[in-house]
Structure 1
Amino acid sequence: MCGIVGVVSNAPVNQLIYDALLLLQHRGQDAAGIVTQQERKFFMHKAKGMVRDVFRTRNMRALPGNVGLGQVRYPTAGNAYSEEEAQPFYVNAPFGIVLVHNGNLTNAHSLRAELFSTDHRHTNTDSDSEVLLNVLAHELEKATHGVPLKPEDVFRAVAAVHQRVKGSYAVIALIAGHGLLAFRDPFGIRPLSIGRSKDGTVMVGSESVALEGTAHVFERNVESGEAVFITLDGTIHSHQCAQDPKLFPCIFEYVYLARPDSEMDTISIYQARLNLGETLAKRVVSTVPPSDIDVIIPIPESSRPSATQLAHLLGIPYREGFVKNRYVGRTFIMPGQGVRKKSVRQKLNVIASEFKGRNVMLVDDSIVRGTTSREIVQMARDAGARKVYLASAAPPVRYPNVYGIDMPTKDELVAHGRTVEEIREIIGCDALIYQDVEGMKRAVMSAAKATPGHRPLDGFDASCFDGVYVTGDITDGDIARLNENRVGGEEGDEDTSRLALPNAQEA
């Protein structure tokens, strides 16, 4: 899962892209990159690390031009330790193209073979984003036949990409001397939005917060299957390039990944999380009598809206019982149990007075491996809690995600193949309450606004909860192959991926 941004302006864009990437930093801490264009020449700087560390003054001065794009990377496939796999990626023909990508191609393996044997193109890394770039370049070359590039040529190429590529992809590409291209997969799994500033600058980005935080007015989302081509003078051309587009955004964006101040596909992230707390309240009441709960405490940070609403509806005091160190990462994808346990203790400290002698209900956004949850429950007990209940605003995570979230393999998921009671015993809490899948979907859907001209949602990709992969082409063999390409780590390595971030609110 990554954050991407592209800008077309009549003024230098390097600082603007930098600022937008800071607003998207919660979507990836592994690497960052920016490309700008001046007089058909690309200027690029990319490296491992966070935005503030990758770009120094000398790097920014070396990025001239009024059009460009950038990315913050959270790797789900390929080599997390190779700077060559930091984005953007570049090919010199046709025209010269640079590309950034958020998502995960589920047929990258077969596409790579096609590129070599049929398209006669070479990829130099294990990144599926480089595969996607070469597929786009090949189809763009076929669509233009050497004539000057027109918007309809670009749209024809994107339509061909949709026919060949499977999986999730939100893409921004810069075509040298012509303009900026943005498009989204036919299911709209990964987000992409577009806006404009008062001076006419056009920005495309993963979340609306990147636009609004840089003085752009959010105009709309790029539709699923749609391509938007922005010429260098800021003129916007758009076209639906998919044969049968549907809108099934990833529901984990609303549960955890996105910043709460963003809006995606007409849904307020903050309102969605409040609604999750409301539906969770009904589940709690059926499991634990509210009179047996003295206090409700969120596990920072993204569970706060749900916990607040839960406490309000049940009439139970809401308290902050954990203080979070913002400079230690989220832990559920730490490479080893020892590292994971140590990190939980490093990043959270309890306020003992909120636990001592009380029956506490802890609220989290989701439970993945369960290791973090077990440690937090024990911390509450060590602080003197009489009973510790745990409520999850999301249902049990039982299946791997193949669309760009680095979920563990199914054997590493605490909920896979286990009952709620078995999970409760592993975590060690006195009661465990999960959101149900349909309740989660209704809660998020009810946060959607009626927006004229916007395609209504057809549903959600909730595959990590219900095992239904919306692209309809995922087999056990595909999952096994994708797991082989998952980004791993060695014991003791620092975890800098997106789901290891302190939190969206803190980014």
Structure 2
Amino acid sequence: MESTRTREAMPEFDPFERDDKPAHECGIFGIVAPDADVARLTFFGLYALQHRGQESAGIAVSNGRGLRYYKQMGLVSHVFNEDNLRPLVGHFAIGHTRYSTTGSSKLENAQPFVVESALGPLAVGHNGNLSNAAALRRELLLRGVGLTSTSDSEVITQMLAGGEGRTWEEKLRVFMVRAQGAYCLTVLTRDALFAVRDPWGLHPLCLGRLGDRGWVVASESCALGTIGAQFVREVEPGEILMLTEEGPQVIARMPAARSAACLFEYIYFARPDSVLQGASLHAVRVSQGRELARESPADADVVIPVPDSAVPAAIGYAQESGIPYSEGLIKNRYIGRTFIQPDDQLRKVGISLKFNALAENLAGKRVVLIDDSIVRGNTSGPIVRLLREAGATEVHIRVCSPPIRHPCFLGVDMASYPELIAHRMSIPEIQRHLGADSLAYLSLDGLIRSTRREPGNFCKGCFIGEYPVDIEVLDKELFEVR
């Protein structure tokens, strides 16, 4: 590939702006444990799922008679303390940590949503995005249902609370017939916990066992291990699972003709110590790096990752290519967690606020820089510049996903068409824009091979623009009062 260092004009990187990554979705957790402090266990389960959403957190608990809940804006560790956990006493609990996909980031949209219904109290936690949310919301309003938020998750809650059916099981079946799009749900009633996964299995949900009498559901298996629960199986696409003190019971299975798991769970979202479809995500990401090395070799001296998410893929690339692996960038993991804005002098430092380069590992070296994805392209160029300033003689970017040319409408905040660099530029143009000596992406076939699953079992919408369900294009803040 032709080497070039010509770069188009690029704005200075602001480390306090959004990362150049797909934004996370949400994390959901549920537990039935008669002999345990379920609120405290839910807190630690949410702590393990914090990577999936950092805007708000909440826990709802049932004692068999009524529900209590607490939710607030902020990280799990900031929202909860001993004082607000103490009143949350019961045998059943659900928890939620949110990244907003429909509805802005504000307390009214925090979850779980809790309402009173003819069948008793109801709390709902939701990960995903309904593609027909606007039509369902309009139907509720025309029926006279008052809505207090701008989230499709409240639409789900009200559909269940006031929908057809004499039991929660019947209401859940009716909901699944009406809803389109991505949803993993934890549904808490007075005396049961329901776990629900959409018919396409777009996002993950798993079941675990805690001791002799406890049962847990969570977005990822890493949350099970955190509280000492043992992984049992995944909740199947289209499955409604009821958990009580008697154990889990399958209420219904309503799968689509084929599953359509989100590929970005394998690339970036899920923690590397989680397991999806029986595969360790760390191993899958190492395999992505190996595939990338076979497809797009580079003549270089060292392989380095963009920390932390690209580390397994960089290990795989180094193993397959024979080029030594090394650290070249050290990440300040907490720079985005402060609300204190840098002054003009610090803003000029730019990418160095977020990363420090290890000059002794870079000086005089031809570098292969491994990243898991490039969405907007607003951090890759400054990183290339940082590596050159540290003495790298060449920088070859290798990306462990195909070019992202389309938004996601099914629960991932993937940016809009104008924001996606691969939508508006060709790969050679992106290379010039970033100032790299070469740029290559993993092919879609190579990515799917790394998962060891059948090609037809994935949603590929953000790569090729084909989605498993009909898409109604919605602005994230469509329902906000302007």
TM-score normalised by length of structure 1: 0.85
For 2:355, the equivalent position in structure 1 comes to 348
From 308, 311, 328, the counterpart of 1:321: 328
Is the Cα–Cα contact under 8 Å of residues 206 and 233 in structure 2 kept in the other structure? yes
> Any idea what SS the aligned residue of 2:207 has?
strand
Matched, 1:370 2:395: no
For 1:464, the equivalent position in structure 2 comes to 462
For 2:15, the equivalent position in structure 1 comes to none
Whole-angstrom distance in 2 between the partners of 1:380 and 1:431: 14
Whole-angstrom distance in 2 between the partners of 1:341 and 1:179: 55
The 5 A counterparts of 1:267-282 are 267-282=279-294
For 2:171, the equivalent position in structure 1 comes to 157
Q: Deviations over 1:2-21 (max 9, x none)?
A: 00101111122111101101
Whole-angstrom distance in 2 between the partners of 1:31 and 1:343: 28
Whole-angstrom distance in 2 between the partners of 1:268 and 1:56: 33
Q: Deviations over 1:107-150 (max 9, x none)?
A: 111111111224x42211101100011112223xx311xxxxxx
Greater than 4 Å deviation, 4+ residue runs: 338-343
Change (3 A) 1:343 1:7: farther
Residue 401 of structure 1, CA deviation: 0.7
Counterpart residue type for residue 409 of structure 1:
S
Q: Deviations over 1:76-99 (max 9, x none)?
A: 12121x212110101100311000
Is the Cα–Cα contact under 8 Å of residues 31 and 214 in structure 2 kept in the other structure? yes
Residue 236 of structure 1, CA deviation: 1.5
Counterpart residue type for residue 136 of structure 1:
L
Is the Cα–Cα contact under 8 Å of residues 155 and 241 in structure 1 kept in the other structure? no
For 1:2, the equivalent position in structure 2 comes to 26
For 1:299, the equivalent position in structure 2 comes to 306
Matched, 1:421 2:428: yes
Residue 60 of structure 1, CA deviation: 1.1
> Any idea what SS the aligned residue of 2:432 has?
helix
Whole-angstrom distance in 1 between the partners of 2:38 and 2:349: 41
> Any idea what SS the aligned residue of 1:21 has?
helix
Is the Cα–Cα contact under 8 Å of residues 360 and 385 in structure 1 kept in the other structure? yes
> Any idea what SS the aligned residue of 2:201 has?
coil
Cα RMSD over matched residues?
2.1
Whole-angstrom distance in 2 between the partners of 1:257 and 1:340: 29
Counterpart residue type for residue 257 of structure 1:
F
Matched, 1:91 2:115: yes
> Any idea what SS the aligned residue of 2:363 has?
coil
For 1:190, the equivalent position in structure 2 comes to 203
TM-score normalised by length of structure 2: 0.89
Is the Cα–Cα contact under 8 Å of residues 188 and 194 in structure 2 kept in the other structure? yes
Whole-angstrom distance in 1 between the partners of 2:314 and 2:479: 33
Q: Deviations over 1:386-424 (max 9, x none)?
A: 111100011111100111111110111110032110110
Q: Deviations over 1:318-344 (max 9, x none)?
A: 1001111111349xxxxxxx9999663
For 1:254, the equivalent position in structure 2 comes to 266
Residue 264 of structure 1, CA deviation: 1.7
For 1:167, the equivalent position in structure 2 comes to 181
Whole-angstrom distance in 2 between the partners of 1:216 and 1:99: 22
Q: Deviations over 1:398-451 (max 9, x none)?
A: 10011111111011111003211011011110100100112111211x1x5xxx
For 2:42, the equivalent position in structure 1 comes to 17
Counterpart residue type for residue 65 of structure 1:
G
Whole-angstrom distance in 2 between the partners of 1:457 and 1:438: 8
Is the Cα–Cα contact under 8 Å of residues 9 and 234 in structure 1 kept in the other structure? no
For 2:390, the equivalent position in structure 1 comes to 383
For 1:206, the equivalent position in structure 2 comes to 219
Q: Which runs of 5+ in 1 are unaligned?
A: 145-152, 331-337, 449-455, 488-507
From 165, 180, 199, the counterpart of 1:143: 165
For 1:127, the equivalent position in structure 2 comes to 151
For 2:11, the equivalent position in structure 1 comes to none
Is the Cα–Cα contact under 8 Å of residues 341 and 375 in structure 1 kept in the other structure? no
Whole-angstrom distance in 2 between the partners of 1:248 and 1:73: 23
Whole-angstrom distance in 2 between the partners of 1:405 and 1:343: 27
Residue 157 of structure 1, CA deviation: 2.1
Whole-angstrom distance in 1 between the partners of 2:282 and 2:333: 21
Matched, 1:61 2:118: no
> How many matched pairs?
448
